[in-house]
Structure 1
């Protein structure tokens, strides 16, 4: 049994595709498939039903998935506890944060969260929402920092994870100030988020049922808000972008509103953690975080 096999099980259950899960795990698809098969051989049962359209959990797979995820988290907690006792990671904190929050928001927020108690070391892993969720599920990080919307519940099990609001943000439909395309709702070139993006889930929820009115045809897609912002600055279309990421571009007038404020999407920035004890330094940080949530709106 190898720890990576448990992580692979969770990733394939999440993505439902060997190709996409392998990409998220940063290995080749054949190597990923061999590792999943090795886990099934060790278990003595098939955990996935394989079809040309993807992979779904068998009844046995569904039964063991929560326990496998908890086992992976427990092993990482054991490592963290051992390192903390040995003084290797005395005040080290491990975060996963979505790209849109990593660039500008995270450094400012972390400074304000220290609250007179300096953190000796921080590890920040920046990736898509889907990968960040997997890192938290597997116990590879202690905290997940991401955007949330009240009407779009997270994929994390509420009986295993808790979160608190630490800031507010807003998604604004923006385009380049030099854009020459018709900005009427029936003629907007659209820069979209992919399915790996947490912001993509939120925008898709907001626009559901509005497609006929807006006539949005995605011309380009990415899970990175920064990439969509770059495309918008190049006059390639309209993107719903976090104000926390685009403050400078808005201030300089390089990005402007493409639709009125009724199309804005209010967001919350949440810090999420497992319910299990995280160790002394992480628990102390959690207790301080979220006091007087700042607003970036």
Structure 2
């Protein structure tokens, strides 16, 4: 069976939209549809339920999806091992990270756990939480670094992916200072809802905040703007547009310059872990050595 047919199916299973999946697979929708039908003929059962309103997986498709993921990952692993044995493998790391961590935390952390020789060629993808998860599920990223709130589940299924904590962070409410240097807004200081620079659903920080507030109570805030990027909310907060809950690791430079000040007491902060994920299947020797190095460094 053509490995590409399985990759086509997995892309469609993630997108549940023929047009978007075809675009991501760099082909026309009619050609993509023919390939999905060819796969269904090969496995002798419908995998996709097609209606005028929506696309969904059949019961067989839902069962087939994790098997297809395992087959694709195993073939990629076998290819990497064969190249390694032949001396043709590149010493490279495919690392996905959310925007909020890729700018500040990831470069410093990488150099603390491994030197340039151990990292090799670094292919770093900085994207939204949702897209990074998709890269891991499709096998296009080997490692994924993101924030994790204390009250939420794992970003990826534990049966298929291992995870390891690599740092701590906090979501802190920040805003611009007024003329006197005091914050323009202070959480809990009045009866009015304060303007919130919120996160869109594709951002992992959106899920962390909503989970935390559901458990501990939501401050008096009203969304003034929504973005999937913490860096955008940081700039809008500096411009005096509202209160932004920003990772301390991202905001520390602006706080040191006085461009941002705390907009609330410590009770409004949200504790975070920084976590790295990998597939539980065997990685290339170079990637396995990197994983061993980072776990040893954290243990020390």
TM range (shorter): 0.7 to 0.9
Q: Does 1:101 align with 2:101?
A: yes
Q: Does 1:39 align with 2:45?
A: no
* Counterparts in 2 of 1:244 and 1:34: CA distance versus 1, 3 Å: farther
Q: Note if contact 2:113-2:297 (Cα within 8 Å) is conserved in structure 1.
A: no
Distance (whole Å) between structure 1 residues aligned to residue 220 and residue 18 of structure 2:
33
Distance (whole Å) between structure 2 residues aligned to residue 267 and residue 157 of structure 1:
20
Following TM superposition, by how much is the alpha carbon of 1:53 offset from its aligned partner in structure 2, in angstroms?
A: 6.5
Following TM superposition, by how much is the alpha carbon of 1:216 offset from its aligned partner in structure 2, in angstroms?
A: 2.8
Q: Deviations 1:107-127 (Å, cap 9, x if unpaired)?
A: 111101116964321111111
Distance (whole Å) between structure 1 residues aligned to residue 222 and residue 31 of structure 2:
39
Q: Which residue of 1 aligns with 2:247?
A: 242
Q: Deviations 1:218-258 (Å, cap 9, x if unpaired)?
A: 22212111111111112111121111111101111111111
Q: Say which SS state the counterpart of residue 173 (structure 1) adopts.
A: strand
Distance (whole Å) between structure 2 residues aligned to residue 280 and residue 99 of structure 1:
28
Q: Does 1:223 align with 2:223?
A: no
Distance (whole Å) between structure 2 residues aligned to residue 263 and residue 50 of structure 1:
46
Distance (whole Å) between structure 1 residues aligned to residue 144 and residue 82 of structure 2:
22
Distance (whole Å) between structure 1 residues aligned to residue 84 and residue 263 of structure 2:
50
Following TM superposition, by how much is the alpha carbon of 1:99 offset from its aligned partner in structure 2, in angstroms?
A: 1.0
Superposition TM-score, scaled by structure 1 size: 0.84
Q: Which residue of 2 aligns with 1:194?
A: 200
Q: Note if contact 1:167-1:293 (Cα within 8 Å) is conserved in structure 2.
A: no
Distance (whole Å) between structure 1 residues aligned to residue 62 and residue 251 of structure 2:
41
Q: Which residue of 2 aligns with 1:257?
A: 262
Q: Note if contact 2:6-2:39 (Cα within 8 Å) is conserved in structure 1.
A: no
Distance (whole Å) between structure 2 residues aligned to residue 49 and residue 130 of structure 1:
24
Following TM superposition, by how much is the alpha carbon of 1:98 offset from its aligned partner in structure 2, in angstroms?
A: 1.0
Q: Does 1:154 align with 2:154?
A: yes
Following TM superposition, by how much is the alpha carbon of 1:160 offset from its aligned partner in structure 2, in angstroms?
A: 1.0
Q: Deviations 1:109-155 (Å, cap 9, x if unpaired)?
A: 11011169643211111111111112112222221111112321124
* Counterparts in 2 of 1:65 and 1:118: CA distance versus 1, 3 Å: closer
Q: Note if contact 1:77-1:139 (Cα within 8 Å) is conserved in structure 2.
A: no
* Counterparts in 2 of 1:15 and 1:80: CA distance versus 1, 3 Å: same
User: Which residues of 2 match residues 108-187 of structure 1 at below 5 A?
Assistant: 108-114=108-114, 118-178=118-178, 180=184, 184=190, 186-187=192-193
User: What RMSD, in angstroms, separates the aligned Cα atoms of the two structures?
Assistant: 3.0
Unpaired runs of at least 5, structure 1: none
Greater mean alpha carbon deviation, residues 110-119 or residues 3-12: 3-12
Paired residues, number = 290
Q: Note if contact 2:149-2:212 (Cα within 8 Å) is conserved in structure 1.
A: no
Following TM superposition, by how much is the alpha carbon of 1:72 offset from its aligned partner in structure 2, in angstroms?
A: 2.4
Q: Which residue of 230, 233, 250 corresponds with 2:238? A: 233
Q: Which residue of 1 aligns with 2:70?
A: 70
Greater mean alpha carbon deviation, residues 185-194 or residues 158-167: 185-194
User: Which residues of 2 match residues 85-100 of structure 1 at below 5 A?
Assistant: 85-100=85-100
* Counterparts in 2 of 1:38 and 1:245: CA distance versus 1, 3 Å: same
Q: Say which SS state the counterpart of residue 72 (structure 1) adopts.
A: helix
Q: Say which SS state the counterpart of residue 131 (structure 1) adopts.
A: helix
Distance (whole Å) between structure 2 residues aligned to residue 20 and residue 219 of structure 1:
30
